[in-house]
Structure 1
Amino acid sequence: MEDALKDIYFEPLLLLVAAVLAAPLFKRLGLGTILGYLAAGVVIGPVARLISDGEALLHVAELGVVFLLFIIGLELNPSRLWAMRRDIFGLGFAQVAVTGPVLALIAHAAFGFSFPAAIVIGFGLALSSTAFAVQTMETQGALNQHHGQTAFSILLFQDIAIAPLLALVPLLSPGGEGAQAIGPIRFSVALACVAALVIAGRYLINPLFRVIASTGAREAMIAAALLVVLGSATLMQVAGLSMALGAFIAGVLLADSSFRHELEADIEPFRGILLGLFFMAVGLSLNLDVVIDNWLLILLAVPVLMTVKAVLLYWLCRIFGSTHNDALRVAALLPQGGEFGFVLFTAAAGAFIFSPAVASLMTAVVTLSMAVTPLSVMLGSLLVREEKAPEMDEDFAGAGADVLMVGFSRFGQIAAQILLAGGRDATIIDHSAARVQAVAKFGFRIYFGDGRRKEVLEAAGIRRAKVVAVCTNQRAVTDAIVDLIRAEFPHVKLYVRSYDRAHALSLRARNVDYEIRETVESALLFGQKSLEALGTSEDMARAIRDDVRRRDEERLAIQAVEGMSAGLDRLHVRPVTPEPLIKPAREGRQVGGWQGEAVNSE
Structure 2
Amino acid sequence: MSTEGDASQLIGMVTLLGAAVVAVPLFKRIGLGSVLGYLAAGLAIGPYGLGLVADARTILHVAELGVVMFLFIIGLEMKPSHLWNLRGQIFGLGSLQVALCALLLTAVGVGSGFPWQVAFVCGAGFVLTSTAIVMQVLAERGDILAPRGQRIVSILLFEDLLIVPLLAVVAFLAPADAAPAAAAPLWQRAGTGLLSLGALAAAGLWLLNPLFRVLAKAKAREVMTAAALLVVLGAALLMELGGLSMAMGAFVAGVLLSESSFRHQLEADIEPFRGLLLGLFFLGVGMALDLDVVARDWRLIGLGVIALMLAKALCIYGVARLAGSSRADAIDRATLMAQGGEFAFVLFAEALRLKVISPSINADMTAIIVLSMAITPLVVAARKRYARAEAASLDGVEAPQDLRGNVLIIGFGRVGQIASQGPLARGAELSIIDNDPDVVRNAARYGFKVYFGDGARADVLRAAGARHARVILVCVDDQAAATRIVENARRECPRTRLVVRAFDREHALALVRLDADHVIRETFEAAMLMGRQAVLALGATDQEADDLDAEVRGRDTERFALETAGGTFAGRALLLGNIERIDPPRHDRKPDVPVPPENGGI
Conservation of the 8 A alpha-carbon contact between 1:310 and 1:331: yes
Q: Secondary structure at the match of 1:261?
A: helix
CA positional deviation for 1:518: 2.1
Change (3 A) 1:379 1:312: farther
Conservation of the 8 A alpha-carbon contact between 1:147 and 1:327: no
CA positional deviation for 1:453: 4.1
Q: Which amino acid aligns with 1:385?
A: E
Map residues 56-71 of structure 1 onto 2, 5 A cutoff: 56-71=58-73
2:582 corresponds in structure 1 to none
User: Is 2:498 the partner of 1:494?
Assistant: yes
From 310, 313, 338, give the equivalent of 2:313.
310
Provide, for residues 229-258 of structure 1, a one-character-per-residue CA deviation record: whole Å limited to 9, x for no partner.
111111111111111111111111111111
CA positional deviation for 1:304: 1.2
CA–CA distance in structure 1, aligned partners of residues 313 and 402 of structure 2: 47
2:90 corresponds in structure 1 to 88
Provide, for residues 102-148 of structure 1, a one-character-per-residue CA deviation record: whole Å limited to 9, x for no partner.
212211221x2222221111100111000000000000011111111
Q: Which amino acid aligns with 1:22?
A: A
Change (3 A) 1:49 1:315: same
Map residues 132-147 of structure 1 onto 2, 5 A cutoff: 132-147=133-148
CA–CA distance in structure 1, aligned partners of residues 43 and 438 of structure 2: 49
User: Is 2:24 the partner of 1:20?
Assistant: no
CA positional deviation for 1:458: 4.3
Q: Which amino acid aligns with 2:122?
A: I
Provide, for residues 442-487 of structure 1, a one-character-per-residue CA deviation record: whole Å limited to 9, x for no partner.
6668665543444554455544544433333322222222112333
2:590 corresponds in structure 1 to none
CA–CA distance in structure 1, aligned partners of residues 448 and 117 of structure 2: 67
Conservation of the 8 A alpha-carbon contact between 2:400 and 2:463: no
Map residues 408-487 of structure 1 onto 2, 5 A cutoff: 408-422=412-426, 424-432=428-436, 435=439, 439=443, 449-458=453-462, 460-487=464-491
Q: Secondary structure at the match of 1:497?
A: strand
1:566 corresponds in structure 2 to none
CA positional deviation for 1:86: 0.7
**403-412 vs 37-46, which deviates more?**
403-412
Q: Secondary structure at the match of 1:268?
A: helix
Map residues 131-210 of structure 1 onto 2, 5 A cutoff: 131-174=132-175, 175-176=177-178, 178-210=181-213
2:594 corresponds in structure 1 to none
CA–CA distance in structure 2, aligned partners of residues 530 and 257 of structure 1: 35
2:519 corresponds in structure 1 to 515
Q: Which amino acid aligns with 1:348?
A: A
**270-279 vs 302-311, which deviates more?**
302-311
CA–CA distance in structure 1, aligned partners of residues 459 and 196 of structure 2: 70
Conservation of the 8 A alpha-carbon contact between 2:400 and 2:433: no
Map residues 43-62 of structure 1 onto 2, 5 A cutoff: 43-45=44-46, 46-62=48-64
User: Is 2:34 the partner of 1:33?
Assistant: yes
Change (3 A) 1:160 1:478: same
Q: Which runs of 5+ in 1 are unaligned?
A: 564-591, 593-602
Conservation of the 8 A alpha-carbon contact between 1:116 and 1:173: no
From 374, 399, 402, give the equivalent of 1:396.
402
Map residues 176-255 of structure 1 onto 2, 5 A cutoff: 176=178, 178-255=181-258
CA–CA distance in structure 2, aligned partners of residues 362 and 107 of structure 1: 11
TM-score (ref. length: structure 2) = 0.88
Q: Which amino acid aligns with 1:83?
A: N
Provide, for residues 501-536 of structure 1, a one-character-per-residue CA deviation record: whole Å limited to 9, x for no partner.
221111122122221112321232233234434544
Provide, for residues 346-386 of structure 1, a one-character-per-residue CA deviation record: whole Å limited to 9, x for no partner.
11111111222221211111111011101222344425512
Conservation of the 8 A alpha-carbon contact between 2:504 and 2:521: yes
CA–CA distance in structure 1, aligned partners of residues 365 and 464 of structure 2: 65
From 73, 81, 91, give the equivalent of 2:75.
73
CA–CA distance in structure 2, aligned partners of residues 279 and 72 of structure 1: 19
Q: Which runs of 5+ in 2 are unaligned?
A: 568-596, 598-602
User: Is 2:556 the partner of 1:552?
Assistant: yes
CA positional deviation for 1:190: 2.0
CA positional deviation for 1:13: 0.8
CA positional deviation for 1:428: 4.2
CA–CA distance in structure 1, aligned partners of residues 431 and 63 of structure 2: 61
Count of aligned pairs between the two proteins: 561
Superposition RMSD on alpha carbons, in Å?
2.4
Change (3 A) 1:285 1:262: same
1:107 corresponds in structure 2 to 109
CA–CA distance in structure 1, aligned partners of residues 446 and 253 of structure 2: 44
Conservation of the 8 A alpha-carbon contact between 1:389 and 1:432: no
User: Is 2:297 the partner of 1:283?
Assistant: no
TM-score (ref. length: structure 1) = 0.88
Q: Which amino acid aligns with 1:517?
A: R
2:592 corresponds in structure 1 to none
CA–CA distance in structure 2, aligned partners of residues 96 and 400 of structure 1: 54
Change (3 A) 1:418 1:53: same
Q: Which amino acid aligns with 1:519?
A: T
Provide, for residues 179-237 of structure 1, a one-character-per-residue CA deviation record: whole Å limited to 9, x for no partner.
22424333322222111111111111111111111111111111111111111111111
Q: Which amino acid aligns with 1:136?
A: V
Q: Which amino acid aligns with 1:120?
A: V
CA positional deviation for 1:547: 2.8
Conservation of the 8 A alpha-carbon contact between 1:44 and 1:51: yes
1:595 corresponds in structure 2 to none
Change (3 A) 1:444 1:173: closer
Q: Secondary structure at the match of 2:420?
A: helix
CA–CA distance in structure 2, aligned partners of residues 169 and 444 of structure 1: 59
Change (3 A) 1:178 1:50: farther
User: Is 2:373 the partner of 1:385?
Assistant: no
Q: Which amino acid aligns with 2:564?
A: A
**121-130 vs 434-443, which deviates more?**
434-443
CA–CA distance in structure 1, aligned partners of residues 353 and 539 of structure 2: 71
CA–CA distance in structure 2, aligned partners of residues 520 and 207 of structure 1: 47
CA positional deviation for 1:411: 2.1
Provide, for residues 294-347 of structure 1, a one-character-per-residue CA deviation record: whole Å limited to 9, x for no partner.
111111111111111111111111222222222221111100000001111111
CA–CA distance in structure 1, aligned partners of residues 457 and 18 of structure 2: 57
Q: Which amino acid aligns with 1:116?
A: Q
1:579 corresponds in structure 2 to none
User: Is 2:283 the partner of 1:273?
Assistant: no
CA–CA distance in structure 1, aligned partners of residues 375 and 441 of structure 2: 43
1:340 corresponds in structure 2 to 343
CA–CA distance in structure 2, aligned partners of residues 184 and 512 of structure 1: 76
Provide, for residues 548-588 of structure 1, a one-character-per-residue CA deviation record: whole Å limited to 9, x for no partner.
3333223323333569xxxxxxxxxxxxxxxxxxxxxxxxx
CA positional deviation for 1:426: 4.7
CA positional deviation for 1:98: 1.5
**311-320 vs 406-415, which deviates more?**
406-415
Change (3 A) 1:393 1:560: closer
**512-521 vs 526-535, which deviates more?**
526-535
Q: Secondary structure at the match of 1:47?
A: coil
CA–CA distance in structure 1, aligned partners of residues 442 and 149 of structure 2: 26
